[in-house]
Amino acid sequence: MTRRRIPRPEPELNPESDLESDAEFNAEPDIDDADLIFPDNVVAASGSEGERLDRFLAESFAPLSRSRIKNLILDGMARRGGVTTRDPSELVQAGATYALTVPDATPAVPRAESIPLTILYEDSDIIVLDKPAGLVVHPAPGNYEGTLVNALLGHCGDSLTGIGGERRPGIVHRLDKETSGVMVAAKTELAHTRLSQTFANRDLDRHYLALCWGTMSPASGDIEGAIGRDPRDRKRMAVRGSGGRDALTHYSTQQIWRLAVSLLDVKLSTGRTHQIRVHLASVSHPVVGDPVYLRRIPAASKNLPAEIRTRLLDFPRQALHAASLAFAHPRTGEPLSFHTAPPADFQQLLDSLDAVAGPGGSR
């Protein structure tokens, strides 16, 4: 397998760093989040002195994450000897008595909606689903309703026991609005913390199907190039010479039609925004239908009959599908694996290519 490193462009003036960051998490014990019982107070034993307060309290208030503990301290919920302290970095004093108030979970701000979902698996900790194209994951300006979060609130209801102090689903990874496929969400604080660790450590296996223009050379390999905001268009991501974050994409060609279109199996070693779309466009093989990174008619399209060529060029979204996801269950450690076929519009493109351009040849 060949690794294809994208040449770094010359550094831009005043580069802006990617705003993504990995959260810090602590391993948590197996307890039922719905029946959490926290101590009234904790006395710092000898040997605890000098430890950060948020880290010290996180050991006694599992399965709350350290970031949750930090926010509670900042909100004035921690006390030392009956006196409120708001400094998460305060050093613990041996023999001092500490207390932390953990408020009951409050209703989430997004409202629950009855939106049909294709559920692949669900238990008290997690829910795995096949996200359709066109569904936004998180509420945001212009999409406060009709999102996956709204749908999960409606579907899960009272089985959401509280994450970060709110009754809400824990979104640990995302798919773009027009990308379909397998997603997992947490229903409990423990599951959210552990799944976040799993994704941050890349301790999982996920594969995508991407229909791209042209043929990859070599047929299987890697694309490596740091990704950050495009300095000329802040709505786009781009391979950056500086201010980007390292990104590595593995691909393997599954089928080729008339040297014009290829179906790729893609695996990510990193999880940057639009990573597959950016990397494939950067090597002149953009994803079919990509409304952001496909900016001109690909030369390879001339190899196709007019009918299928027009159909591919008019495809209204990126032909990208999160086909499989495998990970360990956050509570039991049981290996879980899920696979879904491309949605109907994607599959129809593949069928049309076979019918008009001839069956794709494996490589």
Catalytic residues: 176
Rounded-to-integer distance, Cα 94 and Cα 45, Å: 6
Residue pair 260/214 in contact (Cβ under 8 Å)? The answer is: yes
CA distance 102 to 338: 36
CA distance 60 to 78: 13
Give the span between the Cα atoms of 310 and 312, in whole angstroms. Answer: 5
Asked if 225 and 282 count as a contact pair (C-beta separation under 8 A), the reply is yes
Could you tell me if 80 and 67 are in contact, meaning their C-beta atoms sit under 8 angstroms apart? no
Token code pair at residue 170: 């824990």
> Tokens 């001339």 correspond to what residue?
302
As to burial, measured by CB atoms within 10 angstroms (0-12 exposed, 13-18 middle, 19+ buried), residue 136 is buried
- Please provide the size of the chain in residues: 363
Is-contact 301 286, C-beta < 8 A? no
Give me the phi and psi of 283, to 5 degrees please: -105, 20
Question: How far is Cα 286 from Cα 90, in angstroms, rounded to an integer?
Answer: 51
Report the C-alpha gap between 192 and 125 in whole angstroms: 9
Query: End-to-end alpha-carbon separation of the chain, Å?
Result: 13
Kindly state the tokens that stand for 39: 């101590």
